[in-house]
Amino acid sequence: MRYLCAPDSFKESLTAAEAARAMAEGIRRGDPDAEIRCLPMADGGEGTARALADATGGTMLTASAHDPLGRPVQAGLALLGDGRTAVVETAAASGLALLRPSERDPKATTSYGTGELIRAALDAGAETIIVGLGGSATNDAGCGLLQALGVRLLDHDGRDVRPGGAALAEVERVDLSGLDRRLGDVHVIAACDVTNPLTGPEGASAVFGPQKGASREDVTLLDGALRHVSSVIERALAEQVPAERNGDGGKVEAAVAESSSPGHRSRPDHRTRTPIADHPGAGAAGGIGMALLAVLHADFRPGIDLVIEQSGLDAAAQWADIVFTGEGSIDAQTMFGKTPVGVASVAKRHGKPVIAIAGHVGDGIECLHGRGIDAVFGAAPGAASLDELLRDARANVARTAEQVTRLMRIVRSH
């Protein structure tokens, strides 16, 4: 039998690669003659860079950057096996997990560190940069990211504004002339599973601000600041287009035409009146989506689709007789763009059975059976403390995979 092990990470306890190896260990004990392939997966959020590096034979790089409060931090990014594609996660340098709860303040936090990681990807020679949007501590419309890449945000006195979402209300002019020119030759892809606009009741401040430390009053302040700065950026882009068109031999028109061609998500056309703030996905990661969309001309793709494409999951699922997947917690929410359902959708195209193993099994898993997951098994052995579950996660996953494999061998033999 051929087994494919394609799980996501089990959060704090196992990386995706470790979870895959644990499944393979258990399968081997249950079926000594098994052929096994391990393919670590992710859905575009935290862990995507490492999962894709592992899946493609790439490498993890470390770069000096700054955390959301401007403190030095060493952050990781991936260079995939092709040597031309880099993966940057917003959580790596701009993540909520880098702050203590008492430090969470989206009025002050900045996405500057994510821009530094994009710069590190450029230094590594990347021709395509995938930016995973998720887990950010920021609400600055990606302006910190843009500043790290050479853009200047100036107040009415021509001074650079201070970092953070609140200061965006002071921006009077955006100078794009210093934007790193290497970005003109790079394809930026945003791995994004949300469609929130930048502002309004469904925008970055209202929906995601409270979990980042914003009070009700902060949400109102931040929402106004984001709307203001987006209009200033839009004006700067509109002013830039005629100047570029006069000296680039029509490259701007070509870029606009490309952005509206099949296979590309619609990008803002600054010759129209559609506000940048209203574009779906502009509010992702505290508005970093807006910066990527408007200034770096990023294509937006669902995270799991990107990982499936980059990892070669389709060919691996076709090879396998049975597919194992899983992640730290599986429940009804798993059907909304999470890794196990993404893996199952590919496996079912080839008619392969899918088994999911989870550290925790929540309510509503019945809905997953209609989405390609044939059975879900919890890895926890019984009542245990969180420390015990984290400590024993590898053994628990391996044991569960072994028992499932033994059961399948019994069924096949009768």
C-alpha–C-alpha distance, residues 165 and 334, integer Å:
32
Check if the beta carbon of residue 135 is closer than 8 Å to that of residue 284.
no
| The domain made up of 48-304 is a member of CATH 3.90.1510.10 | yes
Note the pLDDT of residue 384.
74
Strand-by-strand arrangement of the 354-361 sheet? 35-38, 2-5, 322-330, 354-361, 375-378
The residues near 308 (Cβ < 8 Å, ≥ 6 apart) are 41, 314, 342, 343, 346
Check if the beta carbon of residue 277 is closer than 8 Å to that of residue 270.
no
Burial class (CB in 10 A: 0-12, 13-18, 19+), 176: middle
C-alpha–C-alpha distance, residues 414 and 395, integer Å:
29
Check if the beta carbon of residue 108 is closer than 8 Å to that of residue 164.
yes
C-alpha–C-alpha distance, residues 323 and 372, integer Å:
11
SS3 state of residue 194 = coil
Write out the chain's pLDDT in tens, 414 residues. Answer: 999 999 999 987 898 999 999 999 999 999 999 999 999 999 888 889 998 998 899 999 999 999 999 999 999 999 999 999 999 999 999 999 999 999 999 999 999 999 999 999 999 999 999 999 989 999 999 999 999 999 999 999 999 999 999 999 999 999 999 999 999 999 999 999 889 999 999 999 999 999 999 999 999 999 999 999 999 999 999 988 655 544 444 443 333 334 333 334 444 554 445 688 999 999 999 999 999 999 999 999 999 999 999 899 999 999 999 999 999 999 998 988 899 999 999 999 999 999 999 999 999 999 999 999 999 999 988 777 778 777 889 999 999 999 999 999 998 888
C-alpha–C-alpha distance, residues 413 and 406, integer Å:
11
Note the pLDDT of residue 111.
98
- Tokens read off for 368: 């997953």
C-alpha–C-alpha distance, residues 410 and 414, integer Å:
7
Query: pLDDT tens for residues 365-405?
Result: 999 999 999 999 999 887 777 787 778 899 999 999 999 99
Domain spans of the chain, in order of start: 2-39+312-413, 48-304
C-alpha–C-alpha distance, residues 193 and 157, integer Å:
39
Note the pLDDT of residue 34.
97
Note the pLDDT of residue 272.
47
C-alpha–C-alpha distance, residues 274 and 277, integer Å:
9
- CATH T-level assignment (fold) for domain 2-39+312-413: Rossmann fold (3.40.50)
Domains 2-39+312-413 and 48-304 in one fold: no
Note the pLDDT of residue 80.
96
The residues near 180 (Cβ < 8 Å, ≥ 6 apart) are 119, 122, 149, 150
C-alpha–C-alpha distance, residues 109 and 47, integer Å:
22
Check if the beta carbon of residue 45 is closer than 8 Å to that of residue 135.
yes
